[in-house]
Structure 1
Amino acid sequence: MPFTFERIGAAPPAETARQYMVRMRDGVRLATDVYLPQLAADPRDDAAFPAVLVRLPYDKNSRYVYFDRIARLFTARGYAVVVQDVRGKFRSGGTTVPFLRESQDGHDAIDWIVHQCWSDGSVGMFGDSYYGFTQWAAVAAQHPALRAIVPRMTAADFNTIWHPEGQASPVWLEGVDYFAHHWVDNDSYDYRVDRSRRPVIEQYEEAFRAIGARSLWFDLLAPRPAGLSTQPGLHPFDARPVPVLHCVGWFDNIVTAHMRDYLELASRPGWDAVQYLRAGAVDHENYRLAQAPIRDEDNHNTNEDALARMLPEYANPAIDFFDVFLKGVRPVSSLSRVTWELGHAGWRTATAWPPAGSTERTFHLTDLARAGGPLPGASLADAPAGDEQATQWAHDPDSPVPSLVEDSFAFLHAYPDLTPVAARDDVLVFSAPAVSEPLDLAGPVGVGLHVTSTAPEFDVFAKLVDLGPDGRAHQIARGQAAVRAAGAADEIRLDLGHTGYRLRPGHRLALLLAGSDHPLFLPAPGTGENPWTALTTKPTTQTLYSGGACPSRLTVTVMPPTGP
């Protein structure tokens, strides 16, 4: 049966924008739309505006990025908006390879802007995900006209998403799969692979053969990562500091990487004075916890009224930031250093993150004999068990623990109840007592586990969960680690990122531990072979220890109740 796919090309250009093909230093021309505060057909020759530059690989004219609509909000506040297809994507020329030319191209795009008659010589940048990364790449180029950036849900170096701080991680198939669909050539490709077939890599080879081209960056990530830096020149953190509004989502699947960037810069002399944080209870696709799971009438990806309601909250914080650092029409004192949403309890401001008064609270994994589920399972206790305890869970690569979401970028769209997962006999479950008063989480979450395995290599997945009085369980935060060379029960540290979340009265914190999370992650085959190319699998047994010399524990950051 032939491999089938859908090719997605560029959408028609926006009627409200002027289209240009902007020349880069090597002669390649990039498709660029310019939206001006007055009618594009009749601009005033003497008008000059600060510009907001967006450089993205997702088709600047697509409904998915809706920049014709976003531009209206910026131009209404007196900004020119410049949106550019990056090199090798959609209407732009050049070779389709991500990351490597973004610094030079970002510099050249800014330089083109400041030489336009409508430019006042100042430029800011804005955007999500990869078009957050292109902002950091431009910072590394150090063009003097770049005055402020608003990176949303991104990372300055994408390698930190797959390999945080150089640690081994399970294969995030969903993340690598992105390059096989969006970075083949100028177009994007929609196709499905059966992630349970082995070897997994062969299905991508089938796709590339059918398309007639392949993703060069996919080849650098699979089957063995080449370790090529996504910041090949000067790292942006070593460049001239510029004001940054970090926009993160507590339910974003790359929030951990973005928060590492923010915290590092907040501690760096020179950079620390110009770091701002806006953190909301949203996922990567800007779906909100308050509306989860998302109904059709609230789905801004398909519903025009929902999009109109969402966009001001999406764009206005950036415009307010640019009013300070591009226009200078508002004082710096008008900005809060930290604006954050406490899930289920609304927005807050703070002078730093975590907020003042926050403290670390540790829950110890105890009563391990009851950890086999279903919920509530074993205990998350304030005190450790006196004697060492142990329990086991199985990992069968041919029957992996299901993810329950196909797209973790839009996690809140589905917002699944994890109760069926917790009831599996290959998942360990721990729960704290129900709270009688609100418990406000505001800061980092981490897990320390003492685990051994019968496998030479194994994965551990941890999910922090809100277990409601109705029995439903919903994810608050997550983390995972790949453990190579199983031996003594040394501590495994899992970073679950940061959160702002209110556990309401009657609810309880719970922790789920498993050896797989499929199809978002490739299951470890149990044989020590590469999971991309493995043909055979072997069930394995993991042993968790807690108490005594092996204090397995969950650590959260809590703050005093802040009111309703």
Structure 2
Amino acid sequence: MKITKALLLTALLSTTSIAQDNFKTPASVKADFEGFAERLNSRSQLHRDMQALAEKLLKTEGHNLDTKMRLLALTGQFDEALKALAEIRANQDTSAYPANPFLTLQQELFFKTKIREQQTGESFETAFRHVYEAIFRTLNNKEAHKASYYMGYSLEQGIPYMKFVFGRVAGSDELSSKDAASLLYNYQDYYVYNAVIPASKTLQEEDIDRRYITDRNVLIKTPEGITLSAVVVRPRGVAEPMPAALNFTIYNVPDSNLREALNAAAHGYAGVIADARGKRLSTDEIRPYETEHKDANAVVDWISKQSWNNGEVAMYGGSYNGFAAWAAAKHAHPALKTIVPYVAAIPGYGLPMENNISISANYAWPFYVANNRDLDFDLYFDNARWGGLNTKWFESGRPYREYDAVDGLTNPWFQKWLDHPAYDEYWQAMVPYKNDYKNINIPVLSITGYYDDGQISALRYLNDHHTYNENADHYLIIGPYDHWSAQGTQRKNLRGIELDQSAFINVPEITFEWMDHILKGAPKPALVKNKVNYQVMGADTWKHVPSLAEMNADTVRYYLNTESSGEHHTLSTHRETKTGNVLQTVDYTDRKTQNNASYPWPIIRDQLETFGGKVFLTDTFGEDMELSGQFSGKLDIRMNKKDVDLAVTLYEILPNGKFIHLASYMGRASYAADETKRHLLTPGEIESIEFNRTRMVSKRIAEGSRIAAIVNVNKNVIAQVNYGTGKDVSLESIKDAGEPLKLEWQNSSYLNLPIKPLK
């Protein structure tokens, strides 16, 4: 279980509604934090102080059961703590997630070990072995793998958080009940982890060896002579050849990757985690994105020739790993029977460019994956370095080519990718392109989210597959998820908006249900009822339709009228009879303000931030509506520059005055007609910019709501600045700004919104 900010903040927020007595802050809490882990033993002054504080706090009222359990444990009342744990499990909130019999397994192991230790006089290690084996030997492979997840907590990564916990109170002489409870909650958690995690290491390995045949250092030679490394895990006791589940990754995190291979084996597959070229045991050159289509295909071929494989391989994974599955599919190897890509990237389309605009969100990623055979955690997670770099570059006015010069560390991959501003043959070679899809006749299940940064890539795969292959057997699951939750780590609250109960799905389980359906004849996952399966936010329901094209065809045309609606303009189904326009002026020399900085975080806002854009509002809807699909449109513009980066963002304005981010578009005008070739605009002439490469959303638009469309120019810290000279945008600087951009939004412009009454 990886330690996460969200998980840890839960601990801080789980101690509410308790009496507000004050307690003296123990001196040991204020001590130097160095050597903290070594001081976590029952004989230390720190632990004695925590016990004493727990005894005092336990006498007060109002503790929730989670906190009470930890206080009981700190005071040595392990039988009572175990009863509290049983009650916590019995009263789990299953409205979003199924009941978890292994909830806080570390605590159970610790409590039972301490009880046995007291009863038998055994050492902690001996007692722990008995308790651990008594639990794990009763579990099947799936159950044991799920249980072992709780043994994956990183003590090292937890130290900075514990410093934060202690630092919050170290400067105070007194603690409120709430602060004392928070301190003890987190201390007891870490104290238990510090005892249980090391003690479980050998036992986990023994349990894995009992259940699986594991080879962690497989070397695979490709036809090019490249050496790739892999981990292969197979369940013991299976005599017949079996299908393989392959996850191809550039992220060399040995423990996590082994766990993923074990998960596949626990589901009845030969689990294979293959490392990208140059990673882990490979000594070849690291070439992110460029060779995956060949290398992943070579791994599929290698698997198909192993005695333990039945000639069937399924690929799956998220983000880069999802891209790798598509890259392999480009070659249509006969052994590759299905792929399940989540939030899959398309290099050159979704990143490091979006609709031909270079964006900075992944700027540090090449350092992370290409600096060494592992991962460069130190540099990648140097928040002080990256935190203000985009603003520093933006304010400097220097060319985007000099972004790394502003930082002071050369980024060769960044520079190479800037050499390809069009979606040219360099990018096209990496994934299926046009007629490549004719050969991809395997079933595909894509998973993405409305707020996934790379959603346009996932939808591009889907649309192109159906466009170039009339027999495409491609399915989509999409809901209110972001890049992480669409891969399985969902939360009840996504960036400030509460999700419906029906929105909670188990992506890893759906993945193996799909593989079982394709490779073993099992039923489809229950959620997959048609080709496109989407959750309607706010309506707490899923809908299922034959195609995305069918959803997008059912639209209402709204014109950008000049007529005023308060301080804004109208978005109307009726086009104005008189020709007119709305003027927007953008000064590219202005580095104090940004245009189109409306990233959907949070998703719900108290006020509409226009970031210099022009706002067009619909009338109030008289009934509940459903906005489902991708919006598109035509922007008729006249301006005094040869090019411009355009943006459109949609919001729902709720009756209570709050604003919900719905969907967006961002793209370079000169590439709107053809992403592979630039066509500059003519200053002073009205140009029509048609667009459809937008983000999809599905949401109930409540009666009494309105929709706001903000049309804007993209000028902000997270992307190139297109000064409109017609030169390579990466070479333009503030010196090329010239006179301010004067852009007229013509009232012949329109948006096609996929909206209809909610049924």
Q: TM-score range by the shorter chain?
A: 0.7 to 0.9
Q: Matches of 1:467 and 1:67 in 2, distance apart? A: 44
* Mapped pair 1:468 → 2:683: no
Structure 1 residue 180 displacement after superposition: 5.7
SS of equivalent residue, structure 1 residue 323: helix
Determine whether 1:82 maps to 2:280.
no
Shift of residue 439, structure 1, vs aligned partner: 1.2
User: Residue 419 of structure 1 contacts residue 472 of structure 1 at CA under 8 Å; is this kept in 2?
Assistant: yes
Q: Residue type matched to 1:396 in 2? A: D
Q: How far is 1:333 from its partner?
A: 10
User: Is 2:229 aligned against 1:31?
Assistant: yes
Assess if the C-alpha contact under 8 Å between 1:446 and 1:494 holds in 2: yes
Return the offset for 1:103: 2.3
- Whether the aligned pair in 2 keeps the contact of 1:369 and 1:391 (CA below 8 Å) is no
Alignment partners' CA distance in 2, 1:418 and 1:396 = 28
How far is the alpha carbon of 1:440 from its aligned partner? 0.6
Q: Secondary structure at the match of 2:465?
A: helix
Separation (CA, whole Å) in 2 of partners of 1:128 and 1:158: 14
* Percent identity between the two aligned chains: 19
Rounded to whole Å, the distance in 2 between the matches of 1:554 and 1:231 is 30
TM-score by length of 1: 0.79
- Residue in structure 2 matched with residue 174 of structure 1 by the alignment: 361
Contact preservation (8 Å) 1:45, 1:118: no
Aligned: 1:480 with 2:666: yes
Is 1:391 aligned with 2:582?
yes
Shift of 1:510: 0.6
CA distance in 2: counterparts of 1:559 and 1:279, whole angstroms: 19
Report the AA paired with residue 480 of structure 1. M
**Structure 1 position 513 matched with structure 2 position 711:** yes
Match of 2:347 in 1: 158
Match runs of 1:168-317 below 5 Å: 169-175=356-362, 178-179=365-366, 181-186=368-373, 187-188=375-376, 189-190=379-380, 191-192=385-386, 193=389, 194-196=392-394, 197=396, 198-205=398-405, 210=409, 214-216=411-413, 218-222=415-419, 227-232=424-429, 235=433, 236-269=436-469, 271-272=471-472, 274-286=473-485, 291-293=493-495, 313-317=506-510
Give the Cα separation in 2 of the matches to 1:29 and 1:494. 43
Shift of 1:289: 8.8
Change (3 A) 1:358 1:104: closer
1:343 aligns with 2:537: yes
Instruction: Name the SS for the 1:112 alignment partner.
Output: helix
Distance in 2 of aligned mates of 1:334 and 1:466: 27
AA of the residue aligned to 1:291:
N
Instruction: List per-residue Cα deviations over 1:162-201 (Å, max 9, x = no partner).
Output: 699xx97333233566446544554344241233122343
Of 101, 115, 118, which aligns to 2:291? 101
Q: C-alpha displacement at 1:30, in angstroms?
A: 2.2
2:513 aligned to which of 291, 312, 320? 320
Moved more, 87-96 or 102-111: 87-96
Match of 2:70 in 1: none
- Residue 225 of structure 1 deviates from its aligned partner by 6.0
State the distance in 2 between where 1:356 and 1:204 align: 42
Structure 1 residues 344, 517: closer, same or farther in 2, change over 3 A? farther
Does the 8 A contact of 1:400 with 1:523 survive in 2?
Answer: no
Divergent runs of 4+, >6 A: 331-334
Q: Is the CA contact 1:526–1:538 (under 8 Å) kept in the aligned structure 2? A: no
Q: 2:627: which partner in 1?
A: 441
- The aligned residue for residue 19 of structure 1 is 216
Deviation at 1:293, TM superposition (A): 1.7
Task: Tell whether the 8 Å contact from 2:325 to 2:339 is kept in structure 1 after alignment.
Answer: yes
Which amino acid letter does the alignment assign opposite residue 605 of structure 2? Answer: D
Task: Determine the C-alpha separation between the residues in 2 that align with 1:342 and 1:364.
Answer: 26
Structure 2 CA distance, aligned partners of 1:557 and 1:61?
A: 45
Q: Looking at secondary structure, tell me which structure has more helix per residue.
A: 2
Structure 2: gaps of 5 or more residues: 1-156, 158-200, 209-213, 670-679
Cα deviation per residue 1:246-297 (whole Å; 9 max; x = unaligned)?
222222223233223212323444632x2212112212222669622269x9
Whether the aligned pair in 1 keeps the contact of 2:420 and 2:426 (CA below 8 Å) is no
Contact between 1:60 and 1:85, CA under 8 Å: does it hold in 2?
no
Structure 2 distance, partners of 1:429, 1:226, is 31
Structure 2 residue 643 is matched with structure 1 residue 457: yes
Q: Structure 1 unaligned runs (5+)?
A: 1-10, 299-309
Q: Is the 8 A contact 1:55 1:83 kept in 2?
A: yes
SS in 2 for 1:125: strand
After superposition, the C-alpha distances for 1:275-325 in whole angstroms (9 at most, x for unaligned) are 212112212222669622269x99xxxxxxxxxxx9961212221211111
Distance apart, 1:352 and its partner CA? 3.0
Match 2:605 to one of 400, 407, 417: 417
> In 2, distance between residues paired with 1:179 and 1:58?
12
Distance between the aligned counterparts of 1:558 and 1:289, measured in 2? 27
Letter in 1 for 2:243: P
From the superposition, tell whether residues 472 and 494 of structure 1 become closer, same or farther in structure 2 (CA, over 3 Å). Answer: farther
> Which has the higher mean CA deviation after the structures are superposed, 168-177 or 89-98?
168-177
- 1:380 corresponding residue in structure 2: 571
Determine if contact 1:180/1:215 at 8 Å carries over to the other structure: no
Equivalents in 2 of 1:521, 1:217: separation in Å?
13
Counterpart residue identity of residue 701, structure 2:
L
| Aligned partners of 1:403 and 1:519 also within 8 Å | no
Distance 1:558 1:401 in 2: 31
Summarize the Cα distance change of 1:171–1:332 in structure 2 as closer, same or farther, 3 Å threshold: closer
Amino acid at match of 2:247: V
Distance 2:527 2:586 in 1: 53
SS in structure 1 at match of 2:548: coil
* SS of equivalent residue, structure 2 residue 721: coil
Displacement of 1:77 after TM fit? 2.7
Number of corresponding residues: 511
**In structure 2, distance between residues paired with 1:331 and 1:531:** 48
Q: Tell me the secondary structure at the aligned position of residue 321 of structure 1.
A: helix
Structure of greater relative contact order (alpha carbons < 8 Å, 6+ residues apart): 1
